[in-house]
Chain A
Amino acid sequence: MHALCILAAWLLIICSAHAQTTVSGQVTSGEDSSPLPGVNILVKGTANGTISDADGKYSINVASMDAVLIFSFVGYQAQEAPLGGRTSVDITLATDAKQLSEVVVTALGIEKDKSKLGYAVQDVKGADLIKARDPNPVNNLAGKIAGLTVAGNPELLGRPKLYLRGKDPLFVVDGVPIQSDTWNISPDDVESITVLKGPTASALYGSRGQYGAIQITTKRGTKDSRGISFDFNSSTMMENGFIAVPKVQDEYGPGDHGRYAFADGKGGGLYDSDYDIWGPKFEGQLIPQYDGELTPNTEYTTTFPSGATFTGNVKPTPWTARGTDNLDRFLRPGVVTTNSIAVAASGDKYDLRFSTTYAYQQGIVPNTQLSTNNFNIAAGIDLSPKIRFESNINYNYQYTDNIPDVTYGPNSLIYNMTIWGGSDWDVDDMRNYWQKGKEGIQQIYADYTRYNNPWFMAEEWLRGHYKTDVYGYMKLKYQITNELELMGRTQINSYNLYRTEKFPYSATSYGREQALGDYREDKRTLMENNTDFMLTYSKGITPTFHLNASLGGNIRTFSYRSSYATTDYLNVPGWYNMANSLNPVKSYNFYAPMQVLSGYGYVDLSYRDFINLSLTGRVDKHSALPKAKNSYFYPSASLSVVLTEAFELPAVFSYLTVRGSYAKVGSAEPLTQKNIGPIPSISMTGNPMGYGSVYETPYDGPNFSNSPVYSTSLLYNFQPAAAYTNTITNDNLEPSFSSAWETGLDVKLLEGRIGLDLTYFESLDGPGIYNLPISESSGYTSALVNGIKTKRKGWEVVLKGTPISNPRAFSWDILVNWSTYKEYIDEIYPEKSIENLDNFRQVGERIDQFWGTALVKTPAGEIVNTADGRPIPLTSINGNARRFLGYANPDWVWGINNRVSYKNWSLSFLFDGRVGGVIANYIQQQTFRGGRHIETIQGAMGEARYQDYLGVKAYVGPGVVLTGGTPVIDKEGNITNMSELTFAPNTTPTYLQDWISRNYNTNEGNIMSRSFAKLREVTLTYNLPNKIIGNSIIKRASISLIGRNLLYFAEKKDLDIEQYGDYTSPGSGLQTPSMRRYGVNLNFTF
């Protein structure tokens, strides 16, 4: 608290200072008439100077009305302006062809010349995001920023994971942090996105900026000379054609070892419930099936080639592959449309912009969709020449009555149709999904235990999602004197979520085997307010030496409330209401308040514009930390030198800057966390029902993991039972710290035709707050302590080139982004000499090692089989043994952006991808084990599979048979007693089904490379020439053909690997097949 109070007092003193008469005006760019911030203004022959503010405005005291002002700015030609008695001087600076400047938005929305920054930033213009767009706006950043990995998620409402130098960055809109689920941003309102890659860049955002920030600057007003403009942007895309889909066999139906007979789908038949696809070959033979006639008085006996028989009352019918393309016939083309209208106006003293966007996505799964309405209002008023008021409010409403859930389980279409569904039934026969006389109560399907009819799921099992996001701010800027500016700002950031699930009678999923329906409601409210003030002092100390300093304070007030309720089965089918619960309703509620008080400041010093030093400091008091240690300070420093200004370099160098920076950031992590799930009172990100996906919302609030509490649950007779925490809490925890340094250079050659921006960084994350494992015999499994350091190191390269440049005819621009990083374990808990992060990963090693389940192998790498000819899982000998299967993180990430233009035509295309890393492919594992994988009918496996059906063991797996001794396996999967063992080549045949059930039930058997490449975006645009538009009301118009995800290259294409971005997902899950998208974009400005 003290820091703030002192700041406030200081402010009072400064504000009482007396103001004087001034000369003022605005500096604009000759290039596009935009305001130029940061321009040096100097009274000629004196040390008296200032710089222009974010709006290009300045004011300065002069001794004489005959003085001459000198305006200088990197990238522009310096200009002198004699006052000649004027008190207002507006000036337009012409660009300096030799210098190529870029103005970027830095922390807190402060615009700076890129050459003055000691750290890496990169930006993307809003215009590049609105044509070949992905339904999720953040997915559009893939390949466009070096060091930012976007692990796009193709599902409806799927959320991309972002890895900025390997960590999840902060989202900032117009200088204020927001909680973003990445869907609450409308690209049509984005002027530009600037990515601050390291902690130095974002230290002023405090803890939340420690992993960098994605800063969104929204559009304001208009630059149109009429003072008013209308924009219309429309994209329509079709989703059609798989780029990644599992390939499955259609020669064998459901069952086990070639046996199957339907009786009731509940186990009354032969493998007629919860079946695998290891059943009889489709040969037209007669087998009782789900749609066979039930004749209670007649019995039919079916005999199988293996010798099994089944006698039942369902009349056998020909066994054929009726549903070879069930999935294709069930899915439909997806549609993605976005329409946006914006009205903008500007005058002498105001700027206004109103916009609305409607985005609609029709899912490829029938009866699924997602709509988003976005409204945005931005306004700015100059209350006086010295006072400016600005505000922006964004309202975003996402809604759908049904989204699919693809997560592994009977809730998933892929689970039901691709992995565990055979082609013995025809999806068109499943369309009328209610049993006659049991409408609303009982679905029709080929199984009545585990699986669900796809049409029934699509039409009856409904998941509604209704989320409102509102964020906005008001800001007042007051130019107190020439040198002194005061800014006050208050911001809100909020969401309201309402989710429902209607789980119909006769649907089953994990844990809901009684199949009596359910209804669930999930409500969450987040409200956050950030109130800031900032006082900025800016002065030229000498003609060549300039000081810019700022002091500010921030109060972050956070509160989150949620409730989750579910029935425990229903009484009345189809009545979805809590009042209809068969057993007591289960209901959970959660309240989390938090407050962070901060004071911060920075000092920027520049010498002749080409040496720039910037220092920042921030102090936080954080309510999520223990009382004794909840205040902490952290600094940053950065330096840049424009060598081309400082020295005479060879002419080939148009521009050369070197930079370096260091920052340390403190935080309350992991006592706060990024995302939150439905039942935080039980588990912050847990699954209340035990099936399907857990929808997490962005949170960035406290998790109370340092509170000594009982957890309660309803056990016997639904009575509460209390169990005490297993973690020893700690009142003396220090905040987490991470520190980082980086260095880089930015060079432009040949008049800017070639540009290279190169960065090296190292980030030391920690010591953090660590759950130190202790002997469970203490009564606790862990103790909260300060510990663990990891180190990230990496390179980022941005290469820009203009191989061909002819604005009147043909030109070609290319932008290549390349980045790599590796994360190492630096220290665990030195006080106790603990050097193991877990059973396998140790200090000094990479953190992304993948130690997976595997088979017993000889040192020569041969699979060891038991006498029955089946491989041995390591875990059956040593439950803790795993084998090192590779590093999970990609080695490097790349993107190549191209823009080719010829007269009114332009073509943009983006390739991007990643190289390196491994993952365990769960789709492969399950399609193999379930008997559905295409390779089970090919080659030697195909031959053996037919023998399985005949009841003959015929598959001889590779490797050796253990003929003597018992292997001892160490934790790293090695046999340690080879001398005691004897082996012979394996010649023992077994059933293919049993061999596969072992061989593909390990991570090792399903390992695949994470490398992939995508042709991500293609945009072919035709700008309507003036001779067509003429004098019509249309100012500009363009039409584009657009495509996304047109090509996909990867080792295995049953899986679109993209969404698995790092080692935190060592194995894949299921996914809706990835599709190509293509369509048309129209863009008009009136």
Chain B
Amino acid sequence: MKPIKNIVFLIMLTALVFSCKDFDELEPNQNKPTEAPASLVLNAVLNDLFERPWSLEHRQNQFSCCNYNYYGTNEYWSSATLNFMTLKNIIKMEEEAIRLGAADVNPYAAIGKFLRAYFYVRMSQRVGDLPLTEALKGLENVAPVYDTQKEVYIQVLAWLDAANTELAQLIAATDVSLAGDFYFNNDLSKWQKTVNAFKLRVLISLSKKEADADLNIKSKVKAVLDNPSQFPLMTSLDDDMKYVFNGTSNLYTTNPGNRGFDKGRYNMSKTLLGTMADLKDPRTYIVANPAEKEITDGLAPTDFAAYVGAPSGESLDDMTFKAGNGEYSFANQKRYYSTFKGPEPSVQIAYHEQCFNIAEAINRGWVTGDAATFYRNGIITSMKFYGIEDGTVIEITEPDADAVIGTATVSVTDYLNQPEVVYAGNTEAGLEQIITQKYLAFFQNSGQEAYFNYRRTGYPTFDVGPGTGNGGKIPKRWLYPVSEATNNTANYKAALQQQFGAEVDDLNNDLWINKD
């Protein structure tokens, strides 16, 4: 029996030896990287920045409506989605750049500062106070204290200044190390213009705080406008920060693939289309089809009265019924559903918005200048975005088969010369014109900016009713995510108390930024 015994032991000992080998190397995940080039992280962050056209946000901007309860409503939000995961990736991106030998001042660090500012504004516009000083420290602090909204904005403006300064240095040194940027194809000078255009957006959004000495908004606006070499700004549509749909990896939101789903279910909103049609705006013909019933009832396709948006507050049982009976206009089906690339890019920060922001600064007397010029320039640029110039011929189609049912020859000049459109001067009426035109130019662009401007100024009037929910009110803010209430309870409650005088997280409370 000895030989067998020996064989058994030999097998066992061999197994033991083999099993000891490399045991500790089995734990780590070999399927995913632990390090990544900064450009790959930037790609992810820039995708997070993009806000889609034809989304729920744009229904809440009251550009269009969903009349089909199965797919959605026109009701408002409850909790906000915060962007701290993206902010962490911005930090990782900066670390990865340094890991691969970049200097302290490098494009990722500079753009990183802009991106921090951008996402903090996106979040703070929704919820108010946010952890900032103590945030993004991982296990070191899993329950960070909140900074006030004012402190957040002070930091945001500091980041934007730093980003501008660093970008200027890098441009001067012709740094070409940026990669992975699909907005500007790694062109740092366009990033610098975007930083300053965004800074103007932020300063204007603080208009109710114009007297705040810590913020010093007026002089900051003045500094930007007075020093174009230090703070270069966008100069045309080409400078827009825009997401271009390529039709393969990135499809336009509405396209031939979903026309059959959306058909009849998403009509235009009166807040947008009514405003456009009332002003005899040529963009009316671009963005919408005439209501079928108005055409069968005898209106000409070019008649602005044929363009009927639904009140966003209408009860869905009525809206769906009327839409089905042809009483409402739909988004221009031919324009928005014919291709996978879509008819237009999705603009995140636009040159025309910058024009309206400067006009508003002049209107408010923060800086001197000709508001009318910036106002008209904003309108002309928005028209250009849609390919409209004097003499442009627009084909009007019907929504079912895209058949051409009329043509309109339009004139931007005529539009601008209408008494309702001619700038009324640096008055409240002039401000209403600026914001209203900015609202129209925001159509399907710039995320929730249309709503934020409405909240700040009240222009244009948003429609309310059973269809918009929230007891007939447009909410003033979003709730914090429920995870903050459960995972950071004490600081969350303190932040509510600080802002609203009670530990109540309410949609209808004013944020600091919105308080006079």
Contact = CB atoms under 8 A, between A and B. Distances in A.
Q: Is B truly associated with A?
A: yes
Nearest to A630: B27
Interface stretch (B130-138, B269-277, B351-359, B417-425): B130-138
A839 B27 contact: no
A411 interface: no
Interface stretch (A335-343, A401-409, A621-629): A621-629
A533 B46 CA distance: 57
A866 interface: yes
Contacts of A268: 263, 400-401
B138 A715 contact: no
Contacts of B135: 777-779
B325 A306 contact: yes
B486 A839 contact: yes
A495 interface: no
Given A715-B47, A722-B40, A783-B139, A270 B264 contact: yes
Contacts of A777: 82, 84, 130-131, 134-136, 144, 484, 488
A519 B102 CA distance: 43
B13 A8 contact: yes
Given A704-B28, A876-B469, A450 B261 contact: yes
A775 interface: yes
Nearest to A868: B315
Interface string B7-47: 01101110110011001101111111111110011011011
A719 interface: yes
B220 interface: no
Given A680-B31, A717-B182, A718-B249, A775 B41 contact: no
A716 B26 contact: no
A994 B30 contact: no
B40 A720 contact: yes
A423 interface: no
Given A715-B44, A780-B88, A266 B260 contact: yes
Contact of A866 (B16, B315, B326): B315
A787 to B, nearest CB: 14
Contact of B78 (A583, A773, A880): A880
- Interface magnitude class on chain B: 35 or more
B409 interface: no
B296 interface: yes
B69 A778 contact: no
Contacts of A15: 5, 9
Given A779-B87, A868-B317, A256 B82 contact: no
Interface stretch (B342-350, B361-369, B380-388, B475-483): B475-483
A216 interface: no
Nearest to A730: B139
Contacts of B325: 259, 306-308
Nearest to B11: A488
Contacts of A309: 296, 326
Interface string B465-501: 0100111110000010111101110010000000000
B23 to A, nearest CB: 6
Contacts of B46: 716
Please indicate which of the listed interface residues B75, B134, B400 has the most CB atoms of chain A within 10 Å of its own CB: B400
B139 A513 contact: no
A715 B43 contact: yes
A5 B144 contact: no
A716 B249 contact: yes
A63 interface: no
B494 to A, nearest CB: 13
Nearest to B472: A966
Contacts of A625: 27
A1043 interface: no
A726 B324 contact: no
Given A718-B249, A967-B471, A450 B317 contact: no
Interface stretch (A271-279, A316-324, A541-549, A792-800): A271-279
Interface string B316-349: 1110110011100000000000001000000000
Interface in A573-627: 583, 589-595, 597, 621, 623-627
Contacts of A308: 324-326
B471 to A, nearest CB: 3
A514 interface: yes
Contact of B23 (A271, A476, A595, A721): A595
Given A256-B324, A775-B488, A721 B40 contact: yes
Nearest to A308: B325
A211 B69 CA distance: 45
Nearest to B484: A775
A222 to B, nearest CB: 28
B201 interface: no
Contact of A448 (B30, B47, B139, B260): B260
B324 A270 contact: yes
Contacts of A515: 257
Contacts of A712: 32-33, 36, 40
Nearest to B401: A268
A839 B482 contact: yes
A776 B484 contact: yes
A154 B341 CA distance: 44
A273 B263 contact: yes
A781 B483 contact: yes
A931 B440 CA distance: 39
Contacts of B491: 775
A86 to B, nearest CB: 23
Please indicate which of the listed interface residues A626, A713, A724 has the most CB atoms of chain B within 10 Å of its own CB: A724
Given A307-B325, A716-B47, A775 B142 contact: yes
Contacts of B69: 994, 997-998, 1001
A716 to B, nearest CB: 5
Contacts of A658: none
Contacts of A266: 259-260, 263
B79 interface: yes
B1 A681 contact: no
A868 B73 CA distance: 15
B258 interface: yes
Interface in A763-797: 773-781, 783
Nearest to A583: B248
A531 interface: yes
Nearest to B96: A722
Given A265-B260, A386-B1, A779 B85 contact: yes
A478 B1 contact: yes
A708 B34 contact: yes
A15 B2 CA distance: 10
A478 B138 contact: no
A4 B75 contact: no
A710 interface: yes
A327 B479 CA distance: 47
Interface in A315-356: none
B4 interface: yes
B483 A721 contact: no
Contacts of A991: 317, 321
Q: Which 7 A-B pairs have the closest CB atoms?
A: A449-B260, A966-B471, A267-B263, A879-B78, A273-B260, A513-B257, A704-B29
Given A308-B324, A774-B487, A879-B479, 8 more contacts: A623-B24, A710-B32, A714-B249, A722-B36, A775-B131, A778-B136, A779-B136, A994-B320
27 contacts: A11-B12, A267-B259, A267-B262, A273-B263, A274-B260, A274-B263, A478-B4, A531-B15, A594-B26, A595-B26, A707-B29, A715-B43, A715-B47, A720-B40, A721-B47, A722-B40, A722-B43, A724-B89, A728-B139, A775-B142, A777-B131, A777-B488, A779-B85, A839-B486, A868-B317, A870-B466, A997-B69
Interface of A: 1, 4-5, 8, 11-12, 15, 256-257, 259, 263-271, 273-274, 276, 306-309, 312, 384, 386-387, 447-450, 476, 478, 480, 486, 488, 513-515, 531, 533, 553, 555, 557, 583, 589-595, 597, 621, 623-627, 630, 680-681, 702, 704, 706-724, 726, 728, 773-781, 783, 836, 839, 866-868, 870, 875-880, 929, 951, 953, 965-967, 971, 990-991, 994, 997-998, 1001
